[in-house]
Structures are given as structure tokens and as C-alpha cells.
Amino acid sequence: MPLLRIDKVVKRFGGAVAVAGVSLDVEAGEFFSMLGPSGCGKTTLLRMIAGFENPDEGRIELDGTDIRALPPHRRPINTVFQQYALFPHLNVFENVAFGLRRAQVGEAELRRRVTESLDQVQLGTFAERMPAMLSGGQKQRVALARALVLRPRLLLLDEPLGALDHQLRLQMQVELKNLQRASGITFLFVTHDQPEALTMSDRIAVFSRGHIEQAAPARAVYDEPATPFVARFLGASNLLSAEVLRVADGTAQVQLTAGPKVLVKAPYPTVVGSTVSVMLRPEWLGLSRGLPEGRVGAPAVVRDRLYQGASTRYTLATLGMEDLEVVLTPGFGAVAEDLMPGTSGVVSWPDGTGVIVPASPER
Amino acid sequence: MSQKAGQSPPWLASPALLVLFFGMLLPLAMVLLDSFRQRGVYGGFAEIEDLGLYLSSGAWLANYERALEPIYLKIFWRSSWMAVVTTLGCLVVAYPLAWWIARGMPERWRSVGLLLVVVPFWTSFVVRTFAWVWILRTEGLLNQVLVGIGLIDEPLALLYTEWAVLIGLIYGELPFMILPIYASLEKLDTSLLEAAADLGASAWTTFWKVVWPLSLPGVVAGAVLVFVPSMGQFLISDMLGGAKSVLVGNLIQNQFFGGKNAPFGFAVAFVLTLLVLGILALQARLVKGSQELL
Amino acid sequence: MKSLLPLFLLAACSGGGAPDAKTDAKKPEAAPAPAPQELNVYIWTNYHSEEAVKRFEKENNVRVTFDLYDNNEVIEQKLQTGAAPYDVVVPTDYMVSSLVKQGLLLALDTAKLPNLQHIDPAVDTVFTAGEARYGVPYLWGTTGFAYRTDKVANPLDSWKALFDPAYKGKIVMLDDMREAFGAALHVDSKSINSTAEAEIAAAKKHLIAQKELVLAYDSSDFSGKIQSGDAVVVQGYSGELATVARESAGTIRYVVPKEGATLAVDNLAIPKAARNVEMAHKFINFMLDPQVSAETTNATGYATANLAARSKVKPELLNDPAVFPPSEILSRCEALKDLGAFTPQLDAAWTEVKAN
């Protein structure tokens, strides 16, 4: 049985529908992210799970029991808020101890657990400090400790890393991931940042306008997006139209509308003769003056070049697109010639690399 | 004179300092000096024959000695007590109201709510107090309603009692308690309330452990704003109390009318001032801790 | 801005906060012809005839401005501090003496006051023949009490009625130190001007015991309270109470008690600091005119000090013993005298009464 089951939940605010009939299962012990642009309903769904909003329709079940009637303070679920929501009048220790005191845990046990929790987030020496004296990253860790110390069945995190600077954010992503693995607590994480979701999650649900477009393991969401929205949201996607010629066992042969005949992956049901989108991620492509052996490709003109340190991003006019993106990382065996804007070359890839993205949502 | 860049020249403060000096400090000093004199036969001030003797014999302290006699201490005590009860009464009435305006009504209605609290106070204080006479009388509005709906048979004798004075005091000072508490509550972050609930606190516990401590600066500010004027009130105990009690305000007022003893009046006023300053000092200590939260 | 709004509102509250002095109210009269003179009169509430004054204004091309009060001490206050530019004031007899002793009143030029001849010598209590005249009797009355005939078993005639537990919660006393002590001293048949410590102490005891029987101490609305029935016995001034009694068709009766009552004669006087002394004299003389005096009595309900005016006073007032008491009642009445150095002790006793 899944730890958390969301069943056809609907939420409306006035005339607008924030959550439009969402169903989802979260398994115990997993790091599950809800990813999507702002306003897509992910935060609303999170708040309904926490108990701060009530669904208009649908069920929310935790360990098989419907928890909709339970007020937030009775649910075995805790939340890490976006702005941390630390109590300004209590010091770090008392903030972390807050939930334990409400549960009337004995003083000695309370002390032990709070200290342990603070150590877990590397804030052992900060017990006496007041929240006003903490940096953003420290506050975030206190918020985390405060929620984890209660050993909830489910931990909800509402874009907790949003206010941190880039370096700190990357560092915290790793720490959170490790914390989750070490504690074994199920994390339900909301974010609009796709690299973040990809880094940390076991599974990701991609939201758009109140529905889930795709809920799948991270790799599947990136490499085999179920809809064009998912494809685009997870990164530059270079979607090309093509006609399906032949389908066979997870692959298909297609005729690109503005390119050669190629072999592609077909993870979802595909109909011969139909027009589909083929996705080529920028990092799967190569750029060179001539077409290398054993690869398929097409002539291209370099429109723009952006040096990014570890890699270089090129924008090409090719395959019927004005802005096809290619990301080249120089290295042994890479097809990566640094062509300047205005130069003509060839964009290429190993045959069979592309993937068909279905036009309509598939799970 | 050398100045750091960005600092204003000191002489810019002179208008304010002049007003402060001539408008407050100088008159206060004059009144303080007068409080050491005695009243003349017909009011006014008695001439001091021999200043040296006057000072050495301690006669200059006569008014203060008198102000600390039991009968007058009793008056100070009763006034303080009334002021404390008024403050608590205001707190009990104001807090829910402030909460309702700050968090219970839609945001666009908040200024309307605040305006409704304040608008009555743009009319004369005497008129508003008199309205309570009209409400509390034997044939007043309150009794008419209560008898009319059958809750009581005989009208209640509310006017000219201590209760009427308390009602008048609480009503009169209410906005001074509502507004500071409103300011505190409005700044309260909703996510703190959600966090408390999330961590297992019931509504009541959330109030006591999170809302109350964070609204304390507003409460203390309101308490001071209510307590200090309450100590000096004289109109309400006359109009609503039937002039049956002497509070410090009445005592001082009497000295300038029937009693014709201005020096004694000044002395009592200064004792009151010292008392109030003492309380303000106490408040400053209480708030010191929560200063960072403001 | 959001957090400053409450502060602004708080400041706005203070605007209406300061209480006005209960006593003063401005009542400007209409101004007639170009460049009229100004005359400032400081007088009791409900104490003059507006019509008569309007005539005076017309005849003399003057604008008369009235400021009102309801107790004597405030006159003294204003004149002592020199704050007020009044040309005419109307103090009660004992206050005239006090003001004269403090040098605050101007000696009147009797040559300018031909109407003085009409004054009833019986109420000319402040003036001593051969000395300078500082005040002219204007209106007078007594301070007795009124009661509801429909709410008491037998007719009342003694000050003891106001100290009777039978009327608990239905007694109103004047909020006036001299009058309250006057009533208490009368109960012991003592003089209202007593400065004997034992007598004052006894009076104080009466007043303290009386406190729990008192509905309110009120110098402004005693007549309202007896009319409404909230009070059964009220101490008060004859002018108002007599009017109320007449209008009540017998349910309210005003009494000058057998022990005696305060006789109060209000005098017209001119402060030393008056600006328009000439016009002030004219005004006083005008008010002393028999016709005007009669109009004043008819309008206010208080007895005129002007003998010649009596023939023009409304019969219902003239024949009302509450307004014009017969001489045997008058003989029981005493005028208040300023107690000089004794006042602080009396004030302390009064404070004790109120503070209990």
C-alpha cells in the first residue's frame, strides 16, 4: 500500500481551478518531488496534504486512512516552510523542541532528541541562538531539524531552498538527499527548479495548470517525457516533427519532416503513419564541419555561441528550426568542434538516440 | 565645527528644543517651584516672609507631606486600582476586536474597521461620555432593551455606580489599546500560525505560545497608553459616577476650584507624575527583552 | 506605510481627547450696525433675558458676548489669572467680598447707576453704607430642596429628609462643598458659615453616613432627576426648582426647610481689568431698569432684587413662595461668607467625604 494516496483531488478558489482532479501515490521511504511552474497547483496540493486547505472533491489517504477530517495539528505530517517560519521569540533549541513539548515528551528525552536533531543538521552549537542571528542556510536547517525531530510519517517541503544563494543551494540539495536516505522518512518536495528535482528525487510528478502531466522516476521524466510540456520543462528539448514509418518493440523508424530518415526510441504506444514529435536533447548532439562516420545528421549554420565553462552552448539553424540547441562538452571521443557564429557545419547524433514524445498525455 | 558627511548641523534642532524648553520644561519648573509655596487666604499664593526660615523649617515641603497623608494615599491607591482594572478591561475588550480587524476580516475592509474604531473620537469627549449617561440611565437605552426583551423585570441601577465609571473609562481609552495591539497582530506572519499547527499545537496552544508572546509589545504599549491617562481622569467619575468618588484627577481639579489651593494641587500633580514615570520605567524594562522583535 | 497607519490613527484620537471645561460655553450675540462696541459678560447659565439684551445691543450699538459658568470659583480663577477680558461678572455675595479683598473688582460709579434706587435693601447684603459699592444685587434665590409629593408619605420640611435612609439611592446633593456642608450643618442647627472644628467634624460625619444614600452629587441636572423620578429628594437652587415645581402641577414641591437655607444674592460687578467700563456701567444700569428686571425674572424664574419691578412680574412667579418667599421664611436664610484661611480645612473635610 502506498504511504500517501491522492485520489482525484479537486480544489477551486473562486472561479479558478487550482487543482483539477489529481491522483498520485507516494511510496514509503522515497524522495518524491512535485515539479512545475508557479501557479500549477503543486503548492496547493501540498497545503491540502498538510491540512491548511480542504479539498473540494477527492480523497487524501495516509497509510490507508482518509485524513481529510483531521486538523493539521493532528496529522502525523510535518512541513518545512518556504520562509522557514521559525518562531522569532524562541531560541533555536526551543524552536526545535516546540513540537516535542506539544506532544508532552519527557524533559530528558526531549533534550536528547533535540540535541540529536541539531547535530544531524550540523547546528549542535547553535542551541542558544535566536533566529534573528541566523543566516538563511542556518534557518533552513533549524526548520528541517524542527520537523524531523518529530519523526513524521511524511515530511513536506515547500520550495525550502528558494531563498538560498546558488552555491549553498547546491550544497543543501546534497545534504537533504543524504538526510532523507539516512532517516528513511518519506520526503514530498515541491520546487519549480528542474535541475534540483532531478538531483534529489527518486520520482518526480510534473505539474501543469492543476494536472499531473507525468509522474515517473527522474530518469524517465528526463529521457522519456510523456508530453511536450514535460519535455520542454525539464530542459531544452529540440522537438522536431516526423512521420512514423515503422514501429518495432520500443523503437520506431521515422521520417523527419525537415531531415533524414532516422531510428528513434518509442517508449509509448505509437501508430504507424501518425505525425509525432521527436526529442533530441542538446547534449545528445554533436557539431562538426563534416558528418562523422556512423552518425546521422543534417547541415547546420551556427547562429549563436555561448561559452559556459564546462560546456559551450550553440544555437543552430537546421532541421527546420531556427534555434536548435546543442551543448558540447569537449572530451575524448566527443564530436565537438568549436564553430563560430555564421559558420556552416553539420549537426549529428548516433542513430537511435532520439525519442518520440507523445502529443497527448500518457502515463 | 567639523561634521561627518551626512550628519545634519546641530542647530536644526533648535526650534524643537526651544518649544520643548519654553513650552514644557520652563512651565514645569515654575509649577514645581510653586508647589513648595502655600496658598494665600483667598487662594493664590501666600507671601514668604523669611525664605531662610521657610526652607530650614521644612515648611516648603508641607504640601508634599500633606499629599502623602493617609486620606490622599487612599485616593492614589483607588485611582491606581481603577486604572489597573480599566487597563485589564480594555485589554479584554480590545484584543479580540484588534484580532478581528487584523486577521478576521478581508484585507480591503481593514482600513474601514480601523476608521470605525477611531471616528467616534473625533467628537467631543464630553459628548461621548454623556452618551453613556443616556444609555445607562434608569430609562436609558440599555434598560429599555433589557426590560423590553423580558430579560429583567426592573430596570438596573447602573448609572452613578463604580461600574458606570469603569464602563466610561474603558470605553474612553479603548482605541489606545486596540491600535497598538492591531499593529502587532497585523505584522504577525501567518506561516507562524501554520507552523505551530503543523507541529501539533491546537488553536488555543498556538495562541498562548505563539500569538500572545509576539503581540506583547503591542499589549504593553497599549497598557501604558491606557493606564497613564486613566490615572488623571476626573470627568468620567463626575459624569458617570455622580461625583461620588475622588480620584487623583478630581483631587487635583478641586484644588483649582473650590479648594483654592493651587500649590497643593501642583504638589499632588507632581506626585502623580512621579508615580507615572515610575510605571513607565517599569514598562521600559518589560519591553527591553522584546525590542528585537519589533 | 501599513505599520504607520495605526500611529496616525492614534494621533487622530488625541485630537478629541482633551475634555472641555464643563463650565464655559460661548454664546455670541448678533452684531448690529457698523463698528459696534464690544461688551463681554461672564454670567451664570440661564440667567438673563435674551430679548432684553437684544434691545440693549440695538439702543447702544454694542455687541454683547456671553460666557457662561455654573460655579463661583471659576470667576475667581479667571480674574486671578488675569486671563479673561470680562467687562461684567455676576458673582454671588460671598464671592464679591472675596474678590474685593483681593482687589479684583472696580468700585462702581453710582452716579452712572440711577436705577440703584429700586433695589430691595433686604437683599443688598454685600454693600455697607458709607463704603464704596462693588456690586449691585441682580437676582437672588435660596438653596433648599425639592421632593416628589407622590413618592413620600408626609410633607417634608427639614434638611433631615436628605439624610433619611428611607430615600436611599434617591437623594441628590449639589456637588458643591459649601452647600453640602451647609445642609449637614443645618441638620445640627448650626450656621453655614461655621468655622468651629467640632461642628464641621459633626457635619462631615453626617455627610459620610449619607454617602451611600446619595444617587449623585450634581450641580447641573438636579431638576432633571427629580422630574424623571430617579430622585425623590434633591438639593437645589430655588429658581430652577420653583419652575419645575410649577410645571409639575403639584407632584414636585420646593421647600425652604425649617432649619434655614442659603440665601444667595448674585451681584452685577465690574472687574478691575474691564476694558469697556463706560459700557459696563450702562449695561448694569440697563439690567436694573424695572421693566428689564421684571423680564429677567419672568425669563429665568429667579427673584429680582428690584422692588419696582415686582408689579411687572408674572403673577404666578410673584405669588410663588419658592421664588419670592415671605419674610418669615427669608429670616431663616443666611448668606454664605468666604471662610478665608479656614477653607483648606473645609476642603480637606470635603475630600474625605468624597473619598470614602
One-character DSSP codes across A166-181? HHHHHHHHHHHHHHHH
The residue among A279, A300, A289, A292 whose CA lies nearest residue A353 is: A279
The single residue listed with the C-alpha cell 441638620 is: C187
Q: Does A152 touch chain B (CB under 8 A)?
A: no
Between C343-355 and B70-99, two packed helices, what is the crossing angle to 10 degrees? 50
Q: Does the pLDDT value for residue C93 go beyond 80?
A: yes
Question: Which amino acid is residue B95, in one-letter code?
Answer: Y
Distance of CA C342 to the CA centre of its chain: 22
Chains touching A, CB cut-off 8 Å, 3+ pairs? B
**Cβ–Cβ contact A50 with B under 8 A:** yes
Mean pLDDT (chain B, rounded): 86
Q: What percentage of chain C carries pLDDT values higher than 70?
A: 90
* Sequence-ordered strand ranges (E) for chain A: 4-13, 16-26, 31-35, 57-62, 65-66, 77-80, 154-158, 186-191, 203-208, 211-217, 239-248, 251-256, 261-265, 275-279, 286-288, 295-307, 312-318, 321-328, 344-350, 355-357
- Do C175 and B264 count as a contact with CB atoms less than 8 A apart? no
For residue C25, CA distances in Å to A340, B77, B125, B258, C67 come to: 93, 34, 15, 20, 6
For residues C318 and C333, give the distance between their C-alpha atoms in angstroms, rounded to a whole number. 19
Burial C158-197 (b: 16+ CB within 10 A, else e): ebebbbbeebeebbbbbbbbbbbbbbbbbbeebebbbeee
CB hemisphere CA count around B223 (13 angstroms): 18
Q: Measured between CB atoms, does A98 come within 8 Å of chain B?
A: yes
Segment B13-32 shows an average pLDDT of 89
Per-residue model confidence (pLDDT) at position B160 = 87
pLDDT band at C321 (very low <50, low <70, confident <90, very high): confident
Question: Alpha-carbon torsion C148, C153, C154, C157, what sign?
Answer: negative
- pLDDT of residue C146 exceeding 90, the answer is yes
How many contacts (CB atoms, under 8 Å) link B and C? 140
Find the closest chain A residue to B216 by CA distance.
Answer: A89
Cross-chain CB nearest to B118 (options C13, C211, C228): C13
Where b means 16+ CB within 10 Å and e means fewer, A248-274 reads eeebbbbebeebeebbbbbbbebeeee
pLDDT(C24) > 60: no
> Hey, what amino acid is at C263?
L
| Cα distance between residue B246 and residue C350, in whole Å | 10
Distances C87 to B122, C97, C137 between C-alpha atoms, Å: 34, 18, 17
Average pLDDT for residues C165-183, to the nearest whole number? 91
Q: Name the closest residue on chain B to residue C230, using Cα atoms.
A: B138
Which is nearest to C270 in space by CA: C285, C257, C291? Answer: C285
State the best of A49, A54, A102, A158 to mutate against chain B, taking most chain B CBs within 10 Å.
Answer: A102
Which C-chain residues 66-85 have CB contacts (< 8 A) with chain B? 71, 73-74, 76-77, 80
From chain A residues 278-307, the ones with a CB under 8 A of any chain B CB are none
* The dihedral sign for the CA sequence C270, C272, C276, C282: positive
Q: Are C199 and C185 in contact (CB under 8 A)?
A: yes
- Whether residue C152 is predicted with pLDDT greater than 70 in this model: the reply is yes
Exposed (0-12), middle (13-18) or buried (19+): which is C59, by Cβ within 10 Å? exposed
- On chain C, the residues whose CB falls within 8 A of the CB of B251 are 351
A98 to chain B: which residues are within 8 Å by CB?
A: 196, 199, 201, 209
Check whether B103 has a pLDDT greater than 70.
Answer: yes
Chain A: residue whose CA lies nearest to B201: A73
B69-116+159-254 belongs to CATH 3.40.710.10: no
Model confidence at B294, pLDDT cuts 50, 70, 90, reads: very low
Q: How far is B123 from chain C (nearest CA, A)?
A: 6
Going by pLDDT thresholds of 50, 70 and 90, the confidence category of residue B293 is very low
How far is the C-alpha of C40 from the C-alpha of C27, rounded, in Å? 11
Integer-rounded Cα Rg, in Å, for chain A is 24
Q: B38 is written with which cell numbers? A: 502655600
Q: Which of residues 166-225 of B touch A (CB under 8 A)?
A: 189, 191-192, 194-202, 205, 209-210, 213-214
Sheet strand arrangement including A211-217: A77-80, A154-158, A186-191, A31-35, A203-208, A211-217
Q: How far is CA B158 from the centre of its chain?
A: 23
Report the C-alpha gap between A68 and A51 in whole angstroms.
7
Which residue do the cell numbers 502529443 mark? A359
DSSP lists the bridge partners of residue A275 as A243
> Confidence class of residue C23 from pLDDT cuts 50, 70 and 90?
very low
What's residue A52's pLDDT? 95
ipTM associated with this complex: 0.85
Residue C16 reports pLDDT greater than 50 = no
How far apart (Å, rounded) are the C-alpha atoms in residues C321 and C335? 19
Whether B122 sits inside 8 A of C16 (CB atoms) is yes
Strands of A312-318's sheet, edge to edge? A286-288, A344-350, A295-307, A312-318, A321-328
Nearest in space to A143 (alpha carbons), one of A168, A110, A117, A162: A117
**Model confidence, pTM:** 0.78
Mean pLDDT confidence for C10-20:
51
Chain A interface disruption, residue of B198, B287, B288, most A CBs within 10 A: B198
Subunits with 3+ Cβ pairs within 8 Å of C are B
**How many angstroms separate the CA of residue B95 from the nearest CA in chain A?**
20
Give Cα C125 distance to the centre of its chain: 16
Nine-digit cell string for B275: 508615580
CB contact under 8 A, B182 and C73: no
User: What is the reported pLDDT for C46?
Assistant: 81
A73 contacts B198? CB cut-off 8 A: yes
Q: Is the dihedral of CA A258, A261, A263, A269 positive or negative?
A: positive
B66 near B149, Cβ under 8 Å? no
Closest alpha carbon to B243 in A316, C112, C13, C211: C211
| Nearest CB to C101 within list B42, B118, B244 | B42
Those of residues 159-188 in A touching chain B at CB distance below 8 A are none
Query: What residue ranges define each of the domains in chain C, with the CATH number in brackets?
Result: 37-140+264-324 (3.40.190.10), 141-263+337-355 (3.40.190.10)
What cell was used for C336? 454664605
Largest interatomic CA distance in chain A: 74
C206-220: average pLDDT: 91
- Name A157's bridge partners: A80, A189
**Cell 409629593 belongs to residue:** C149
**What would you report as the CA-atom Rg of chain C, rounded to the nearest whole angstrom?**
22
- Give the SS3 label for residue A343: coil
Chains B and A touch (3+ CB pairs under 8 A): yes
Rounded-to-integer distance, Cα A185 and Cα A295, Å? 46
CA distance B256 to B237: 17
Residue in A99, A87, A86, A94 with CA at minimum distance from that of residue A147: A99
Report how far residue C231's alpha carbon sits from residue C171's, in angstroms, rounded to the nearest whole number. 6
**C-alpha–C-alpha distance, residues A250 and A269, integer Å:** 9
* 10-residue averages of pLDDT along chain A (363 residues): 93 91 94 92 94 94 93 94 93 94 91 93 91 92 94 94 88 91 94 92 94 93 92 91 91 91 92 91 91 90 92 91 90 84 91 87 45
Domain boundaries, chain B: 26-67+261-294, 69-116+159-254
Please state whether at least 3 CB pairs lie below 8 Å between chains C and B: yes
Is there a contact between A83 and B202 if contact means CB atoms under 8 Å apart? Answer: no
- CA–CA distance, B20 with B15 (Å, rounded to integer): 9
Note the pLDDT of residue A330.
Answer: 86
Reduce the DSSP state of residue B47 to 3 states and report it. coil
Q: How confident is the model at residue C79 (pLDDT cuts 50, 70, 90)?
A: confident
Rounded distance between C-alpha atoms, residue A98 and residue A204, angstroms? 32
Nearest Cβ partner of B251 from C71, C73, C351? C351
Rg (CA), chain B: 24
Give the pLDDT score at C7.
59
Q: CB distance B195–A51 less than 8 Å?
A: no
Residue A165: its pLDDT value, please?
87
What distance in Å separates residue B205's CA from the closest CA in chain A? 8
Of B183, B242, B260, the CB nearest to C3: B183
Answer whether A301's CB lies under 8 Å from A288's CB. Answer: no
Q: Residues of C numbered 158-197 whose beta carbons fall under 8 angstroms of chain B's beta carbons: which are they?
A: 169, 175-178
- As beta bridge partners, residue C28 has C65
B238-251 burial code (b ≥16 CB/10 A, e <16) = bbbbbbbbbbbbbb
Element (H, E) at B170: helix B162-186
In sequence order, which residues have a C-beta less than 8 Å from that of residue B183 and are 6 or more positions away?
A: B218, C3, C6, C7
